[in-house]
Structure 1
Amino acid sequence: MITRPPLSLKARAVGYLSRREHSRAELARKLAPHAESPEEVERLLDALERENWLSNERFADSLVHRRGSRYGTARVMQEAKTHQLGGEQLSDLQERLRATEPERAREVWHKRFGTPPATPEERAKQIRFMMARGFSRSVIGKVIKGAEDEIGEDSAE
């Protein structure tokens, strides 16, 4: 059986980045066990940023794309904070998420429930589900109220 030589640190980094975007902090954590020193990891990450292989901005865009359609602003922001993005990047990300939260919440609610709650218990269940997904209470209220209003209009006709 032929054994391959171990991958270089840069080859590992490029392999991770070819699969999906990573934040600088996340990539550093994944590479640390394979590096001889923390300085070696930092030098590599600096080089990858200069060569535009690694970008926290692209990572933030990727995070919105991957998580935004299923989760609310609070949940996506919680994940983004674990990746140690800069303050400006976090505020920009939060602004973008808040701008689309009502539409995203409506889609998640419609996909999961589709009909307005008939009982207070059902209403509480729907609210709990949406809150667990990270949507704000005000947006959840508007989504459920909007669905109830649509049903009310249909029955009035």
Structure 2
Amino acid sequence: MPRRERPGKPAKGEKPQRTAYDKALGLLARREHSGRELSRKLGQGGYDRQDTTEAIGRLGEQGYQDDDRFASMLVRNRASHGYGPARIRAELRNHGIGEAVARRLLDEAEVDWHELAADILRRRYGGPTADYAERGRRAQFLLRRGFAAATVRSLTHAEVDDAADD
């Protein structure tokens, strides 16, 4: 059955169609969304581009949708789940958040990335190892989580020093 563009009186047995604004507001009631994410979801729902743009603009004016607030929440959430700055920055970019905003939010997060990586490594693998292949696996794990190569190198080499001391 074709999708109606504007809400009106539904045919018998048919649900009334929600406006793009109502649909977006419903999505935002569940969790924060970036403007790009809302636009994509509304487009997939069959809403035309103009209605989508107007709805997102109206939600922004009313303070319901804010990309900075979304990005700040995402940075805090991902850091608390053990992801590094490179991975978080890439995810922000996928949501349409600019590089300058991403850099500012990562700096404001006040996360000690080295300590976070060390904690993740400790929780995942336990104690240090002198095994070269195992160190490589651990390094790859941290790199996939988005930690800087220098951080990974210092942690995996520190493991070798700690294992040699034992």
- TM-score, with structure 2 as normaliser: 0.79
Matched, 1:29 2:45: no
1:17 aligns with 2:28: yes
Percent pairwise identity: 27
**Aligned equivalents of 1:97, 1:151: Cα separation in 2:** 33
- Please give the alpha-carbon distance, in whole angstroms, between the structure 1 residues aligned to 2:95 and 2:28: 15
Q: Which residue of 1 aligns with 2:129?
A: 117
Q: Structure 1 residue 76 and structure 2 residue 88: aligned?
A: yes
Equivalent residue of 2:65, what SS? coil
After the TM superposition, which residues 59-74 of structure 1 pair with which residues of structure 2 at under 5 Å, given as runs?
59-68=70-79, 69-74=81-86
Letter in 2 for 1:6: Q
**CA shift at 1:56, angstroms?**
0.7
Larger Rg: 2
C-alpha distance 145-128 of structure 1, shift in aligned 2 (>3 A): same
Segments of 5+ residues of structure 2 without an aligned counterpart are 1-12
Over 2 Å off, 4+ runs = 33-37, 93-100, 141-153
* Counterpart position of 2:148: 136
- Greater relative CO (CA pairs within 8 A, separation 6+): 1
Letter in 2 for 1:67: R
Shift of 1:144: 3.2
User: Which secondary structure does the structure 2 equivalent of 1:67 belong to?
Assistant: helix
Partners of 1:72 and 1:96 in 2: how far apart? 14
List per-residue Cα deviations over 1:58-116 (Å, max 9, x = no partner). 11112112222321111111111111113431221343468531122122111111211
Task: Specify the alignment match of 2:115 in structure 1.
Answer: 103
Distance, in Å, in 2 between the alignment partners of 1:86 and 1:51 is 22
Offset, 1:134: 1.2
Q: Considering only aligned residues, what root-mean-square deviation do their CA atoms show, in Å?
A: 2.4
Give 1 or 2: higher helix fraction: 1
